[in-house]
Amino acid sequence: MLATQLNRRHLGPLLWAHTVVSSSSPRLLVDSITFASPEYEGLGAISAAHDSTESLPPPQPTSAIYRPPILDMRGGGMLWFWSAGVLSYLQQQQDLAAVRLHGSSSGAIAAALAACDVPLELAAQRVAHVLAEHGVHDRLFGLLGVWGTIARRCLNELLPEDAHTRCTGRVRVRLTAWPSLQPIFLERFHSKADVIDACLASGHLPFLLDGRLAARLRGGKAMDGAFCRLRFGAVRLRNAEGLEQLVLSGQEYAKRLHARGVWAAWLDTQHIIVVDDFLPASLAERLRAVYDERMVLDQLRPQQQRAEWGALEGPPDFRLFRTPASTFFPSVLYRELEQTLAAYGMELGCCGVSPILVSYYIEGCNHGWFCPAPKGPLAFVLSLTRWQERGFKGGELVMLQPNVWETDETTVMEPRFNRIILFDGRISYAVRQVEGTQDPLDARISLIGWLRQPELCLKGSLTKAEAAPVVAACQAAIHSALGDPAPAAGTVTVRLEVCGRTGAVTDIKWLLNTLRVADQLGSAPPWLVLERQLGTIAEHCCAARFPPSGDGGDTQVTLPLVFS
């Protein structure tokens, strides 16, 4: 049963996306996405998907099946560089810990590198450098006969020694068996060398890699996993500038999907959410116009009628100015702002918004590294800065990665006009010092606050008194099954569709997930821990039975789950 279908003509390179729900048995398949390079559709294709219903076991009336998101990277020859661009953007902007990575041909290489947390942008630079070292751009036959040697060298350099452990159960490599030409799949690997052999066999174009028809692998023979769909444009050699352009093209493509909210809708964990053009354009412009007017006219008003800009109290490396938005903006305008934020929060299962503050940064203002006591699952920064016309340097929002003890990488985001950045309140962040302006009209201006903790929310025929006991029992069962503390900490909100006639849960929609795996879980990979915890949540939610409604009408139940 197809619950949601996006019109293909509205998606451009985004080919399809849907959520599948079985009406006879509540099963969860999170949004599926397939997309391809606009220039080379069908070559450098990547698909982000969940298993189709055909692969599911027979219906179980009291169980739910959680399918983790899958990033499926098809073969593309030299368009591996485009795939590397897409993945490098995702590595910087999204949490891929719970994502399964499938690939064939060059896509298998990209999948293995991503599963081992190798920065794909650096990997692309290294591969381009090795290609130049071998002089392939000047060779009469280009990569013919040397491709295999180059790929093996790069994988040996880039993959860690425990690559087989990281890839087993998370990476799925597609190959074509020889001579049957039947597809085969590998998901378990015995060593780093086994991972490399599998990737090279999956990308073994006859005679091209090393002059052999097929690659030897585990006592058999195999060739390119995308061999039956091969198009020769995929192996066209490009110069160094062309390879770099492919990486940039992939990054820009992923960035466009990010701006449309595609990644946030597909990926399970949401530690950072960025939405451009968040407010209606007229509302954003009115807010900025009021700010500009007040900053000018306040200079002419008596002190008691001016906005009270208080400097933030904090360590020496903190300096910025803040004032309550409720007193700064006209009440009607403030309510419109608050209602817009609250409506967005409701889509994530958050019931309400904290008091909003207006802040501005001028010369010398900055915000040092800080991790506040969370006042909700997500903090937000909504920019009113005329970023493209700014006359200052600095002001970017900088965040540490959720796995701060494993990497010193940061995420840097520009506070563009009408862009909202929501982030997990447990993430440490800072704002780069502003230099070059003393004018509050040419300043870094933003609205800041929190989405409040989720609460039980109902929409439909059931009353809170009727639903609350079932919800409490469901929450207790989930916490009991997971233990105390749960393997992963954070907030999860789900929206249950409850049948008014039977009280059964017919659909689940995941609204918010900020789960982060605890550090002390030993050898269990983060993606497996998250998969198990989300599967437990889905199973107990689908087993819940609500009382039938008095009028037979259906009900939406927003269920909050907080794991500390």
Catalytic positions, written as ranges: 105, 224
Determine the Cα–Cα distance for residues 393 and 442; give it in Å rounded to an integer: 11
Fill in the DSSP letter of residue 135: T
| Helix 192-202 with 147-158: angle, nearest 10 deg | 140
How many C-beta atoms lie closer than 10 Å to residue 400's C-beta? 17
Longest dimension (CA), the chain: 88
Q: What is the DSSP letter of 279?
A: S
Give all strands (DSSP E) within 95-219, no chain letters: 100-104, 171-177, 183-186, 215-217
Beta partners for 378?
A: 424, 451
CA 119 to chain centre: 16
| SS3 per residue for 198-233 | HHHHHCCCCCCCCCCCCEEECCEEEECCCHHHCCHH
Are 338 and 356 in contact, with CB atoms under 8 Å apart?
yes
Half-sphere exposure of 48 (CA within 13 A, CB side): 27
Under a CB-based contact definition with an 8 Å cutoff, are residues 106 and 199 in contact? no
Query: What is the DSSP secondary structure assignment for residue 28, as one 8-state letter?
Result: E
CA angle 34–36–42, rounded 5-degree value: 105
Question: How far apart are the C-alpha atoms of 217 and 219, rounded to whole Å?
Answer: 6
Nearest to 177 by CA among 114, 227, 127: 227
Structure-token match 């007193």, residue found:
327
Name the CA dihedral angle for 151, 154, 155, 158, rounded to a multiple of 10 degrees. Answer: -160
Give every CB contact of residue 91 below 8 A, 6+ residues apart in sequence: 114, 117, 119, 120
Residues 6+ apart with CB under 8 A from 481: 536, 540
Separation between Cα atoms, residue 182 and residue 451, nearest integer Å: 51
Contacts 24+ apart (CB under 8 A), 309-318: 309/360, 312/367, 314/368, 314/370, 315/368, 317/366, 317/368, 318/366, 318/367, 318/368, 318/370
**Total residue count of the chain as it appears in this document:** 564
How far is it, in rounded angstroms, from Cα 353 to Cα 348?
12
Beta 70-73 vs 100-104: how paired, if at all?
parallel
Peptide bond into 179 cis (omega under 30): yes
Q: Among residues 379, 384, 383, which one has the least CA distance to residue 353?
A: 379
